[in-house]
Structure 1
Amino acid sequence: MKKILAALVAFAALTAAAPALGADLGGRSYYKTPPAYVAPLYNWTGFYLGGHIGGAFSGSNDFNGTVLSDSRARLLGGIQAGLDWQFAPNWVLGTEGQYSWLGKNNLTATFPGGYVYTNDQRGLGSITARIGYTWGPGLIYVKGGWAYSDNSERVTLGGVPIPFLLDGNHSNGWTVGAGLEYMVAPNWSVKGEYMYYDFGSSRFVNPVALAPFGSFHNEDHTLKLGVNYRFNFASPVVARY
Protein backbone atom coordinates (compact mmCIF):
# COMPACT_ATOMS: atom_id res chain seq x y z
CA MET A 1 0.00 0.00 0.00
CA LYS A 2 2.88 2.33 0.87
CA LYS A 3 4.45 1.65 -2.51
CA ILE A 4 1.21 2.56 -4.32
CA LEU A 5 0.88 5.83 -2.36
CA ALA A 6 4.52 6.68 -3.09
CA ALA A 7 3.98 6.08 -6.83
CA LEU A 8 0.89 8.32 -6.85
CA VAL A 9 2.75 11.12 -5.05
CA ALA A 10 5.65 10.90 -7.54
CA PHE A 11 3.26 11.00 -10.51
CA ALA A 12 1.46 14.06 -9.08
CA ALA A 13 4.77 15.84 -8.57
CA LEU A 14 5.84 15.20 -12.14
CA THR A 15 2.48 16.43 -13.47
CA ALA A 16 2.76 19.66 -11.48
CA ALA A 17 6.31 20.29 -12.71
CA ALA A 18 5.48 19.77 -16.45
CA PRO A 19 4.11 23.35 -17.14
CA ALA A 20 7.12 24.94 -15.54
CA LEU A 21 9.41 22.76 -17.63
CA GLY A 22 7.55 23.76 -20.77
CA ALA A 23 7.90 27.40 -19.84
CA ASP A 24 11.64 26.96 -19.43
CA LEU A 25 11.90 25.45 -22.91
CA GLY A 26 9.99 28.38 -24.43
CA GLY A 27 7.11 28.30 -26.92
CA ARG A 28 7.68 27.20 -30.50
CA SER A 29 7.34 30.13 -32.89
CA TYR A 30 5.77 29.95 -36.38
CA TYR A 31 6.57 32.39 -39.25
CA LYS A 32 4.12 32.74 -42.09
CA THR A 33 5.36 34.37 -45.28
CA PRO A 34 3.16 37.37 -46.10
CA PRO A 35 1.42 37.26 -49.48
CA ALA A 36 3.38 38.80 -52.30
CA TYR A 37 2.21 42.14 -53.68
CA VAL A 38 1.81 42.00 -57.43
CA ALA A 39 2.07 45.34 -59.18
CA PRO A 40 -0.48 46.07 -61.94
CA LEU A 41 0.72 44.78 -65.27
CA TYR A 42 -1.03 47.50 -67.30
CA ASN A 43 -1.95 51.07 -66.48
CA TRP A 44 -3.86 53.26 -68.94
CA THR A 45 -3.60 56.42 -66.85
CA GLY A 46 -1.42 59.07 -68.45
CA PHE A 47 -0.70 61.24 -71.46
CA TYR A 48 -0.06 59.90 -74.97
CA LEU A 49 1.00 61.04 -78.45
CA GLY A 50 0.59 59.17 -81.71
CA GLY A 51 -0.20 59.00 -85.39
CA HIS A 52 -2.64 57.24 -87.71
CA ILE A 53 -3.37 56.32 -91.33
CA GLY A 54 -6.54 55.14 -93.01
CA GLY A 55 -9.34 56.03 -95.39
CA ALA A 56 -12.22 58.52 -95.56
CA PHE A 57 -15.56 58.02 -97.31
CA SER A 58 -18.00 60.87 -98.04
CA GLY A 59 -21.76 60.56 -97.80
CA SER A 60 -23.82 60.23 -100.99
CA ASN A 61 -26.14 63.21 -100.53
CA ASP A 62 -26.94 65.66 -103.30
CA PHE A 63 -28.76 68.90 -104.18
CA ASN A 64 -32.32 67.69 -104.82
CA GLY A 65 -31.17 65.22 -107.43
CA THR A 66 -28.22 67.23 -108.78
CA VAL A 67 -25.44 64.70 -108.39
CA LEU A 68 -22.36 65.53 -106.37
CA SER A 69 -19.44 63.78 -108.00
CA ASP A 70 -16.51 62.96 -105.74
CA SER A 71 -13.78 60.42 -105.17
CA ARG A 72 -15.57 58.25 -102.63
CA ALA A 73 -12.48 56.86 -100.89
CA ARG A 74 -9.53 59.01 -99.93
CA LEU A 75 -6.34 58.27 -98.05
CA LEU A 76 -5.82 60.04 -94.75
CA GLY A 77 -2.99 60.42 -92.30
CA GLY A 78 -2.73 62.39 -89.10
CA ILE A 79 -1.78 62.82 -85.48
CA GLN A 80 -3.51 62.52 -82.11
CA ALA A 81 -2.84 63.40 -78.47
CA GLY A 82 -4.82 62.52 -75.41
CA LEU A 83 -5.08 61.94 -71.68
CA ASP A 84 -6.57 58.86 -69.99
CA TRP A 85 -7.56 58.03 -66.42
CA GLN A 86 -8.14 54.42 -65.35
CA PHE A 87 -10.59 53.87 -62.50
CA ALA A 88 -12.90 51.40 -60.77
CA PRO A 89 -10.56 49.48 -61.81
CA ASN A 90 -11.50 48.31 -65.34
CA TRP A 91 -12.85 51.57 -66.73
CA VAL A 92 -10.93 54.25 -68.61
CA LEU A 93 -12.10 57.83 -69.07
CA GLY A 94 -10.23 60.20 -71.37
CA THR A 95 -10.13 63.05 -73.87
CA GLU A 96 -8.40 63.23 -77.25
CA GLY A 97 -7.58 65.77 -79.92
CA GLN A 98 -7.07 64.52 -83.47
CA TYR A 99 -6.36 65.90 -86.94
CA SER A 100 -6.27 63.99 -90.25
CA TRP A 101 -4.97 65.32 -93.55
CA LEU A 102 -7.02 64.06 -96.51
CA GLY A 103 -5.97 63.15 -100.00
CA LYS A 104 -7.15 65.30 -102.90
CA ASN A 105 -10.95 65.40 -103.10
CA ASN A 106 -12.83 67.73 -105.41
CA LEU A 107 -16.49 67.24 -104.59
CA THR A 108 -18.30 68.85 -107.54
CA ALA A 109 -21.91 69.75 -108.34
CA THR A 110 -22.79 71.01 -111.83
CA PHE A 111 -25.98 73.07 -112.13
CA PRO A 112 -28.01 74.24 -115.15
CA GLY A 113 -26.83 77.57 -116.48
CA GLY A 114 -23.12 76.75 -116.18
CA TYR A 115 -22.73 77.07 -112.41
CA VAL A 116 -20.25 74.64 -110.81
CA TYR A 117 -19.69 74.21 -107.06
CA THR A 118 -16.43 72.60 -105.90
CA ASN A 119 -15.31 71.69 -102.40
CA ASP A 120 -11.82 70.35 -101.74
CA GLN A 121 -12.00 68.94 -98.21
CA ARG A 122 -8.41 69.09 -96.99
CA GLY A 123 -8.71 67.73 -93.46
CA LEU A 124 -10.82 66.51 -90.54
CA GLY A 125 -10.28 67.44 -86.90
CA SER A 126 -11.96 66.56 -83.62
CA ILE A 127 -11.87 67.06 -79.86
CA THR A 128 -13.66 64.19 -78.16
CA ALA A 129 -14.31 62.53 -74.83
CA ARG A 130 -14.09 58.76 -74.63
CA ILE A 131 -14.92 56.01 -72.18
CA GLY A 132 -13.75 52.45 -72.41
CA TYR A 133 -13.50 49.07 -70.69
CA THR A 134 -10.11 47.41 -70.22
CA TRP A 135 -9.13 43.82 -69.50
CA GLY A 136 -5.40 44.43 -69.01
CA PRO A 137 -3.62 45.03 -72.32
CA GLY A 138 -6.87 45.58 -74.25
CA LEU A 139 -9.22 48.57 -74.26
CA ILE A 140 -12.52 48.83 -76.12
CA TYR A 141 -14.05 52.31 -76.19
CA VAL A 142 -16.61 54.72 -77.57
CA LYS A 143 -16.03 58.44 -78.15
CA GLY A 144 -17.81 61.59 -79.27
CA GLY A 145 -17.52 65.36 -79.44
CA TRP A 146 -16.83 68.37 -81.65
CA ALA A 147 -15.63 67.99 -85.25
CA TYR A 148 -14.05 70.32 -87.80
CA SER A 149 -13.87 70.09 -91.61
CA ASP A 150 -11.15 72.08 -93.41
CA ASN A 151 -12.95 73.07 -96.63
CA SER A 152 -11.65 74.93 -99.66
CA GLU A 153 -14.77 75.90 -101.67
CA ARG A 154 -15.60 77.89 -104.76
CA VAL A 155 -18.37 78.52 -107.28
CA THR A 156 -17.62 79.23 -110.92
CA LEU A 157 -19.78 80.42 -113.79
CA GLY A 158 -18.40 79.54 -117.18
CA GLY A 159 -15.09 78.70 -115.50
CA VAL A 160 -14.81 82.10 -113.76
CA PRO A 161 -14.94 82.20 -109.91
CA ILE A 162 -17.88 84.21 -108.53
CA PRO A 163 -18.95 85.20 -104.97
CA PHE A 164 -21.30 82.83 -103.17
CA LEU A 165 -22.96 82.38 -99.81
CA LEU A 166 -24.08 79.16 -98.13
CA ASP A 167 -26.67 78.85 -95.38
CA GLY A 168 -25.18 76.55 -92.76
CA ASN A 169 -21.72 76.25 -91.28
CA HIS A 170 -20.50 72.94 -92.62
CA SER A 171 -17.01 73.41 -91.17
CA ASN A 172 -18.19 72.74 -87.60
CA GLY A 173 -20.13 69.67 -86.57
CA TRP A 174 -20.05 66.59 -84.36
CA THR A 175 -18.53 63.14 -84.42
CA VAL A 176 -19.01 59.75 -82.76
CA GLY A 177 -16.92 56.62 -83.01
CA ALA A 178 -15.63 53.43 -81.46
CA GLY A 179 -12.38 51.54 -81.39
CA LEU A 180 -10.09 48.91 -79.94
CA GLU A 181 -6.65 49.71 -78.51
CA TYR A 182 -4.03 47.17 -77.39
CA MET A 183 -0.73 47.52 -75.53
CA VAL A 184 1.95 45.65 -77.42
CA ALA A 185 5.00 46.76 -75.38
CA PRO A 186 5.81 49.04 -72.44
CA ASN A 187 4.75 52.58 -73.43
CA TRP A 188 3.40 51.49 -76.85
CA SER A 189 -0.13 50.71 -78.00
CA VAL A 190 -1.84 50.18 -81.36
CA LYS A 191 -5.48 50.86 -82.24
CA GLY A 192 -8.18 50.47 -84.86
CA GLU A 193 -10.97 53.04 -84.98
CA TYR A 194 -14.14 54.00 -86.85
CA MET A 195 -15.50 57.59 -86.74
CA TYR A 196 -18.59 59.22 -88.22
CA TYR A 197 -18.56 62.98 -88.85
CA ASP A 198 -21.68 65.10 -89.42
CA PHE A 199 -21.45 68.75 -90.48
CA GLY A 200 -25.13 69.40 -91.09
CA SER A 201 -26.93 70.55 -94.22
CA SER A 202 -26.14 73.57 -96.42
CA ARG A 203 -28.01 75.45 -99.13
CA PHE A 204 -27.11 78.34 -101.41
CA VAL A 205 -28.32 81.82 -100.53
CA ASN A 206 -26.28 83.46 -103.28
CA PRO A 207 -26.24 83.20 -106.26
CA VAL A 208 -30.03 83.15 -106.11
CA ALA A 209 -30.19 80.97 -109.22
CA LEU A 210 -28.90 78.06 -107.09
CA ALA A 211 -31.29 78.53 -104.15
CA PRO A 212 -34.13 76.45 -105.68
CA PHE A 213 -31.89 73.38 -105.75
CA GLY A 214 -32.23 72.97 -101.99
CA SER A 215 -29.64 71.69 -99.57
CA PHE A 216 -27.03 68.99 -99.39
CA HIS A 217 -25.76 67.09 -96.36
CA ASN A 218 -22.10 67.03 -95.28
CA GLU A 219 -20.90 63.80 -93.67
CA ASP A 220 -17.86 61.53 -93.62
CA HIS A 221 -16.96 58.04 -92.45
CA THR A 222 -13.36 57.14 -91.55
CA LEU A 223 -11.42 53.99 -90.73
CA LYS A 224 -8.05 54.44 -89.02
CA LEU A 225 -5.13 52.39 -87.79
CA GLY A 226 -2.91 54.13 -85.28
CA VAL A 227 -0.04 53.84 -82.83
CA ASN A 228 0.42 55.71 -79.53
CA TYR A 229 3.38 56.33 -77.26
CA ARG A 230 2.18 56.43 -73.66
CA PHE A 231 3.82 58.28 -70.78
CA ASN A 232 3.58 57.15 -67.12
CA PHE A 233 3.01 53.56 -68.17
CA ALA A 234 3.57 50.94 -65.44
CA SER A 235 6.11 48.45 -66.76
CA PRO A 236 4.78 44.86 -66.77
CA VAL A 237 7.17 43.62 -64.05
CA VAL A 238 5.86 41.65 -61.08
CA ALA A 239 7.05 43.40 -57.92
CA ARG A 240 7.24 41.51 -54.61
CA TYR A 241 7.57 43.12 -51.21
Structure 2
Amino acid sequence: MKKILVGAIGAIGAVALSLSAPVSAADLAAHPYVKAPPPAIAAVYDWSGFYIGINGGGGSAHKCWDFVDATGAVTGVPGSLVGEGCHNATGGTVGGQIGYRWQSGQWVFGAEGQGNWADFRGDNTSAVFPADRNRSRIDSFGLITGQIGYAWNNVLFYVKGGGAVVGDKYDVFDIPSGALVASARETRWGGAVGAGLEFGFTPNWSVGVEYDHLFLGHRTIGFTTPAGIAAGSDRIGQDVDMGLVRLNYRFGGYGAPVAARY
Protein backbone atom coordinates (compact mmCIF):
# COMPACT_ATOMS: atom_id res chain seq x y z
CA MET A 1 0.00 0.00 0.00
CA LYS A 2 2.82 2.36 0.87
CA LYS A 3 4.52 1.63 -2.44
CA ILE A 4 1.33 2.45 -4.32
CA LEU A 5 0.91 5.78 -2.39
CA VAL A 6 4.50 6.83 -2.94
CA GLY A 7 4.27 6.04 -6.64
CA ALA A 8 1.05 8.02 -6.98
CA ILE A 9 2.56 11.03 -5.24
CA GLY A 10 5.61 10.87 -7.54
CA ALA A 11 3.45 10.72 -10.63
CA ILE A 12 1.39 13.71 -9.49
CA GLY A 13 4.62 15.70 -8.81
CA ALA A 14 5.96 14.94 -12.24
CA VAL A 15 2.74 16.09 -13.88
CA ALA A 16 2.75 19.29 -11.77
CA LEU A 17 6.31 20.09 -12.79
CA SER A 18 5.53 19.59 -16.45
CA LEU A 19 2.54 21.91 -16.22
CA SER A 20 4.41 24.59 -14.29
CA ALA A 21 6.95 25.27 -17.07
CA PRO A 22 4.55 26.75 -19.69
CA VAL A 23 2.64 28.64 -17.02
CA SER A 24 5.84 30.36 -15.84
CA ALA A 25 6.80 31.31 -19.40
CA ALA A 26 3.37 32.81 -20.02
CA ASP A 27 3.64 34.87 -16.87
CA LEU A 28 6.84 36.59 -18.06
CA ALA A 29 6.31 40.30 -18.97
CA ALA A 30 6.22 41.01 -22.69
CA HIS A 31 8.73 43.57 -24.10
CA PRO A 32 7.00 46.97 -24.31
CA TYR A 33 6.61 48.63 -27.75
CA VAL A 34 8.79 51.73 -28.00
CA LYS A 35 7.78 54.36 -30.55
CA ALA A 36 10.60 55.80 -32.64
CA PRO A 37 11.63 59.29 -31.48
CA PRO A 38 10.40 62.17 -33.61
CA PRO A 39 12.96 63.89 -35.87
CA ALA A 40 14.97 66.64 -34.22
CA ILE A 41 13.58 70.14 -34.73
CA ALA A 42 16.04 72.94 -35.47
CA ALA A 43 15.02 76.60 -35.39
CA VAL A 44 16.06 78.53 -38.52
CA TYR A 45 16.94 82.20 -38.16
CA ASP A 46 14.60 84.41 -40.17
CA TRP A 47 15.89 87.82 -41.31
CA SER A 48 12.45 88.99 -42.48
CA GLY A 49 10.79 92.00 -40.89
CA PHE A 50 11.14 95.67 -40.05
CA TYR A 51 14.24 96.74 -38.13
CA ILE A 52 15.68 99.87 -36.54
CA GLY A 53 19.19 100.48 -35.31
CA ILE A 54 22.14 102.71 -34.56
CA ASN A 55 25.60 102.93 -36.13
CA GLY A 56 28.93 104.58 -35.55
CA GLY A 57 32.38 104.66 -37.05
CA GLY A 58 34.69 106.79 -39.11
CA GLY A 59 35.30 107.97 -42.62
CA SER A 60 37.45 109.92 -45.02
CA ALA A 61 36.36 112.27 -47.80
CA HIS A 62 38.90 112.90 -50.55
CA LYS A 63 38.39 116.46 -51.85
CA CYS A 64 40.14 118.33 -54.64
CA TRP A 65 39.71 122.06 -55.27
CA ASP A 66 40.17 123.68 -58.71
CA PHE A 67 40.03 127.47 -58.88
CA VAL A 68 37.67 128.74 -61.59
CA ASP A 69 39.29 131.75 -63.28
CA ALA A 70 36.07 133.36 -64.50
CA THR A 71 37.69 136.55 -65.87
CA GLY A 72 41.12 135.29 -66.84
CA ALA A 73 42.79 137.51 -64.25
CA VAL A 74 44.83 134.64 -62.80
CA THR A 75 45.42 132.25 -65.70
CA GLY A 76 44.82 134.63 -68.59
CA VAL A 77 42.09 132.32 -69.93
CA PRO A 78 38.52 133.15 -68.82
CA GLY A 79 36.68 130.13 -67.43
CA SER A 80 39.79 127.98 -67.09
CA LEU A 81 40.58 125.74 -64.10
CA VAL A 82 43.78 125.60 -62.07
CA GLY A 83 44.35 123.10 -59.29
CA GLU A 84 44.55 124.40 -55.73
CA GLY A 85 45.32 120.95 -54.31
CA CYS A 86 43.64 118.03 -52.56
CA HIS A 87 43.18 116.85 -48.99
CA ASN A 88 41.39 114.15 -47.00
CA ALA A 89 38.65 115.24 -44.61
CA THR A 90 38.59 112.57 -41.88
CA GLY A 91 36.67 112.06 -38.66
CA GLY A 92 33.90 110.22 -36.88
CA THR A 93 30.20 109.70 -37.43
CA VAL A 94 27.16 108.40 -35.54
CA GLY A 95 23.60 107.88 -36.71
CA GLY A 96 20.72 105.51 -37.21
CA GLN A 97 19.00 103.34 -39.80
CA ILE A 98 15.56 101.90 -40.42
CA GLY A 99 14.62 99.30 -42.99
CA TYR A 100 12.78 96.18 -44.02
CA ARG A 101 14.07 92.77 -45.15
CA TRP A 102 12.34 89.71 -46.54
CA GLN A 103 13.91 86.28 -46.90
CA SER A 104 13.34 83.66 -49.60
CA GLY A 105 15.33 80.50 -48.94
CA GLN A 106 18.83 81.71 -48.14
CA TRP A 107 18.47 84.93 -50.16
CA VAL A 108 17.60 88.13 -48.32
CA PHE A 109 16.31 91.33 -49.97
CA GLY A 110 15.79 94.71 -48.34
CA ALA A 111 15.50 98.47 -48.44
CA GLU A 112 16.98 100.91 -45.94
CA GLY A 113 17.17 104.58 -45.04
CA GLN A 114 20.09 105.91 -42.98
CA GLY A 115 20.92 109.33 -41.51
CA ASN A 116 24.16 110.35 -39.78
CA TRP A 117 25.82 113.27 -38.09
CA ALA A 118 29.47 113.56 -39.10
CA ASP A 119 32.60 115.55 -38.41
CA PHE A 120 34.93 114.89 -41.36
CA ARG A 121 37.51 117.70 -41.61
CA GLY A 122 40.62 118.37 -43.68
CA ASP A 123 42.60 121.21 -45.28
CA ASN A 124 45.55 122.11 -47.46
CA THR A 125 47.46 125.19 -48.53
CA SER A 126 46.26 126.56 -51.86
CA ALA A 127 48.71 126.03 -54.73
CA VAL A 128 47.21 129.08 -56.48
CA PHE A 129 47.04 131.43 -53.49
CA PRO A 130 49.84 130.35 -51.09
CA ALA A 131 48.61 132.70 -48.35
CA ASP A 132 45.26 130.86 -48.22
CA ARG A 133 44.32 127.59 -46.58
CA ASN A 134 41.31 125.66 -47.96
CA ARG A 135 39.27 123.64 -45.46
CA SER A 136 36.47 121.13 -46.15
CA ARG A 137 33.99 119.64 -43.72
CA ILE A 138 31.14 117.11 -43.98
CA ASP A 139 28.70 117.55 -41.10
CA SER A 140 25.92 115.14 -42.15
CA PHE A 141 24.97 112.53 -44.72
CA GLY A 142 22.10 110.26 -45.64
CA LEU A 143 21.74 107.02 -47.63
CA ILE A 144 18.74 105.45 -49.34
CA THR A 145 19.70 101.98 -50.54
CA GLY A 146 18.50 98.56 -51.60
CA GLN A 147 20.11 95.35 -50.36
CA ILE A 148 20.73 91.81 -51.62
CA GLY A 149 22.15 89.28 -49.19
CA TYR A 150 22.84 85.61 -48.58
CA ALA A 151 22.24 84.05 -45.16
CA TRP A 152 23.88 81.13 -43.40
CA ASN A 153 21.23 80.79 -40.68
CA ASN A 154 22.04 83.71 -38.31
CA VAL A 155 24.96 85.08 -40.38
CA LEU A 156 24.12 87.44 -43.23
CA PHE A 157 26.40 88.85 -45.93
CA TYR A 158 24.92 91.60 -48.10
CA VAL A 159 25.72 94.21 -50.69
CA LYS A 160 23.87 97.50 -51.07
CA GLY A 161 23.52 100.38 -53.50
CA GLY A 162 21.48 103.52 -54.03
CA GLY A 163 21.55 107.26 -53.46
CA ALA A 164 23.54 109.45 -51.08
CA VAL A 165 23.28 113.04 -49.91
CA VAL A 166 25.86 114.98 -47.88
CA GLY A 167 26.00 118.36 -46.18
CA ASP A 168 29.27 120.16 -47.03
CA LYS A 169 30.89 123.30 -45.68
CA TYR A 170 33.93 125.00 -47.21
CA ASP A 171 36.13 127.72 -45.70
CA VAL A 172 39.13 129.71 -46.91
CA PHE A 173 41.43 131.14 -44.22
CA ASP A 174 44.24 133.67 -44.45
CA ILE A 175 47.29 131.81 -43.15
CA PRO A 176 49.22 134.78 -41.64
CA SER A 177 46.27 136.12 -39.64
CA GLY A 178 44.01 133.04 -39.38
CA ALA A 179 41.04 135.18 -40.46
CA LEU A 180 38.16 133.70 -42.45
CA VAL A 181 38.38 134.99 -46.02
CA ALA A 182 35.44 133.24 -47.71
CA SER A 183 33.06 130.34 -47.18
CA ALA A 184 30.34 128.28 -48.86
CA ARG A 185 27.80 125.58 -48.07
CA GLU A 186 26.09 122.99 -50.22
CA THR A 187 23.90 119.87 -50.15
CA ARG A 188 25.28 117.41 -52.68
CA TRP A 189 23.62 114.29 -54.09
CA GLY A 190 25.43 111.26 -55.43
CA GLY A 191 25.54 107.48 -55.44
CA ALA A 192 26.46 104.89 -52.82
CA VAL A 193 27.63 101.27 -52.81
CA GLY A 194 28.58 99.11 -49.86
CA ALA A 195 28.86 95.67 -48.30
CA GLY A 196 28.28 94.31 -44.82
CA LEU A 197 28.40 91.25 -42.59
CA GLU A 198 25.78 90.87 -39.86
CA PHE A 199 25.42 88.35 -37.02
CA GLY A 200 22.14 87.63 -35.22
CA PHE A 201 23.05 86.94 -31.60
CA THR A 202 19.44 86.72 -30.34
CA PRO A 203 16.13 86.21 -32.18
CA ASN A 204 15.71 90.00 -32.47
CA TRP A 205 19.14 91.60 -32.06
CA SER A 206 21.98 91.62 -34.58
CA VAL A 207 25.36 93.32 -34.83
CA GLY A 208 27.45 93.90 -37.91
CA VAL A 209 30.15 95.79 -39.75
CA GLU A 210 29.71 97.69 -43.01
CA TYR A 211 31.83 99.51 -45.60
CA ASP A 212 30.36 102.24 -47.83
CA HIS A 213 31.72 104.31 -50.71
CA LEU A 214 29.96 107.49 -51.84
CA PHE A 215 30.40 108.83 -55.37
CA LEU A 216 29.77 112.58 -55.19
CA GLY A 217 31.35 113.85 -58.40
CA HIS A 218 32.37 117.45 -59.13
CA ARG A 219 30.45 120.65 -58.60
CA THR A 220 31.29 124.35 -59.00
CA ILE A 221 30.74 126.23 -55.72
CA GLY A 222 30.45 130.00 -55.36
CA PHE A 223 32.16 131.53 -52.30
CA THR A 224 31.24 134.68 -50.39
CA THR A 225 33.13 136.80 -47.88
CA PRO A 226 31.88 137.18 -44.27
CA ALA A 227 30.29 140.44 -45.49
CA GLY A 228 28.31 138.56 -48.16
CA ILE A 229 30.37 139.72 -51.15
CA ALA A 230 31.07 137.22 -53.97
CA ALA A 231 34.61 135.87 -53.71
CA GLY A 232 35.05 133.61 -56.73
CA SER A 233 34.34 129.96 -57.37
CA ASP A 234 35.99 126.56 -57.07
CA ARG A 235 35.18 123.30 -58.79
CA ILE A 236 35.28 120.76 -55.96
CA GLY A 237 35.28 117.00 -56.41
CA GLN A 238 34.83 114.49 -53.62
CA ASP A 239 34.43 110.79 -52.79
CA VAL A 240 33.81 109.33 -49.34
CA ASP A 241 34.86 106.02 -47.76
CA MET A 242 33.39 104.90 -44.44
CA GLY A 243 33.53 101.97 -42.03
CA LEU A 244 30.63 101.48 -39.63
CA VAL A 245 29.62 99.21 -36.76
CA ARG A 246 25.85 98.63 -36.65
CA LEU A 247 23.41 97.35 -34.03
CA ASN A 248 19.87 96.46 -35.16
CA TYR A 249 16.65 95.41 -33.46
CA ARG A 250 14.27 93.46 -35.68
CA PHE A 251 10.57 93.23 -34.93
CA GLY A 252 9.65 89.54 -34.97
CA GLY A 253 11.77 86.48 -34.21
CA TYR A 254 12.74 83.10 -35.50
CA GLY A 255 10.76 81.65 -38.35
CA ALA A 256 8.90 78.32 -38.30
CA PRO A 257 11.01 75.36 -37.13
CA VAL A 258 11.99 72.78 -39.71
CA ALA A 259 12.96 69.14 -39.32
CA ALA A 260 16.67 68.64 -39.12
CA ARG A 261 18.20 66.51 -41.87
CA TYR A 262 20.50 63.58 -41.13
TM-score norm. by structure 2 comes to 0.64
| Contact 2:157-2:196 within 8 A present in 1 as well | yes
Alignment size in residue pairs: 204
Task: Answer yes or no: is 1:68 the counterpart of 2:71.
Answer: no
Determine which of 50, 55, 62 is the counterpart of 2:53: 50
Point out the structure with max Rg over C-alpha.
2
CA RMSD of aligned residues (A): 3.6
- Aligned partner of 2:121: which letter? N
Q: Which residue of 2 is the match for residue 80 of structure 1? A: 97
Deviation, 1:100, is 2.1
More displaced stretch, 103-112 vs 93-102: 103-112
Determine which of 166, 174, 182 is the counterpart of 1:149: 166
- CA distance in 2 between counterparts of 1:37 and 1:86 reads 23
Deviation, 1:81, is 1.1
- Aligned partner of 2:235: which letter? S
Determine which of 208, 212, 237 is the counterpart of 1:217: 237
- CA distance in 2 between counterparts of 1:62 and 1:31 reads 82
Determine which of 18, 41, 44 is the counterpart of 2:44: 41
| Contact 1:170-1:199 within 8 A present in 2 as well | no
Q: Which residue of 1 is the match for residue 5 of structure 2? A: none
Q: 1:163 to 1:62 in 2, by over 3 A?
A: closer
Q: Which residue of 2 is the match for residue 133 of structure 1? A: 150
Give SS of 2:201's match.
strand
- CA distance in 1 between counterparts of 2:65 and 2:37 reads 71
- Counterparts of 1:218-233 in structure 2, within 5 Å, are 218-233=238-253
| Contact 2:109-2:149 within 8 A present in 1 as well | yes
| Contact 2:182-2:231 within 8 A present in 1 as well | no
Determine which of 92, 98, 103 is the counterpart of 2:114: 98
Q: 1:238 to 1:153 in 2, by over 3 A?
A: same
Q: Which residue of 1 is the match for residue 212 of structure 2? A: 195
Q: Any stretches of 5+ residues in structure 2 without a counterpart?
A: 1-32, 67-81, 225-229
Deviation, 1:54, is 1.1
Percent of aligned pairs with the same residue? Answer: 31
- Aligned partner of 1:94: which letter? G
| Contact 1:108-1:119 within 8 A present in 2 as well | no
- Give the strand-richer structure, 1 or 2: 2
- Aligned partner of 1:216: which letter? I
Deviation, 1:223, is 0.5
Task: Answer yes or no: is 1:178 the counterpart of 2:195.
Answer: yes
Q: Which aligned runs of 4 or more in structure 1 are off by greater than 3 angstroms? A: 30-40, 68-71, 106-111, 113-119, 153-165, 204-211, 235-240
Q: 1:209 to 1:99 in 2, by over 3 A?
A: closer
Deviation, 1:149, is 0.5
Deviation, 1:226, is 1.1
Q: 1:49 to 1:163 in 2, by over 3 A?
A: closer
TM-score norm. by structure 1 comes to 0.69
- CA distance in 2 between counterparts of 1:160 and 1:224 reads 33
- CA distance in 1 between counterparts of 2:87 and 2:247 reads 33
Q: 1:236 to 1:103 in 2, by over 3 A?
A: farther
- CA distance in 2 between counterparts of 1:104 and 1:56 reads 7
